[in-house]
Amino acid sequence: MNIHVAKGDIATRTIAIIDQFKHLEGPLLPILHGIQDEFGHVPQEALPVIAKELNLSRAEVHGVVTFYHDYRDHPAGRHVLRLCRAEACQSMGGDALAERVKALLGIDWHGTTPDGAITLEPVFCLGLCSCSPSAMMDGEVHGRVDVADLEALISEARR
């Protein structure tokens, strides 16, 4: 999935988002979420605009974007499948499950299938440790998943 947005348009839309949130105490995270909601990712062209408007260095903004796993540097697929990588899920077969899903989709972590249907992301705890292994598809959490469950989710997402 390729989304092309003119650089000037990115700056204009970024400033509009910044204006919505800059009155908050600690506005950087809400601004980044707003930008990702708008563009599907945080474009590199937005970072210097954010830095200038918030009187931060570009390095500070870049550091926050790269520190948090929720921010993307490229658009995600139509559906986002997140697999828990925390210890409880690993102990219940999460590693083998993850390898199976990566093979089934033909992508690695943070990749998107060639048809643009699914982006696969690791997440470090979904809060379902007692129901591990767990996954999240488009914000909906699934516990005690197995290969058949994930194959069904993937099949449904590809329709």
CA angle 78-82-83, nearest 5°? 150
d(CA 5, CA 24): 28
Inter-residue contact 98 to 59 (CB < 8 Å)? no
pLDDT at position 8:
63
Locate all alpha helices (DSSP H) within 22-57, ordered by sequence. 28-39, 46-54
d(CA 120, CA 102): 8
Mean pLDDT lowest among 4-18, 50-64, 71-85: 4-18
Element at 97 (helix H, strand E)? helix 94-105
Residue among 82, 91, 71 at smallest CA distance from 132 = 91
122: β partners: 83
Check pLDDT > 80 for residue 134: yes
Name every residue whose Cβ is closer than 8 Å to that of residue 32 and which is 6 or more positions away in sequence. 42, 50, 64, 65, 68, 71
pLDDT at position 2:
41
Check pLDDT > 80 for residue 111: yes
Name every residue whose Cβ is closer than 8 Å to that of residue 118 and which is 6 or more positions away in sequence. 77, 78, 79, 80, 81, 105, 107, 112, 154, 157, 158
What pLDDT band is residue 1 in, cutting at 50, 70 and 90? very low
Quote the pTM value: 0.78
Check pLDDT > 80 for residue 52: yes
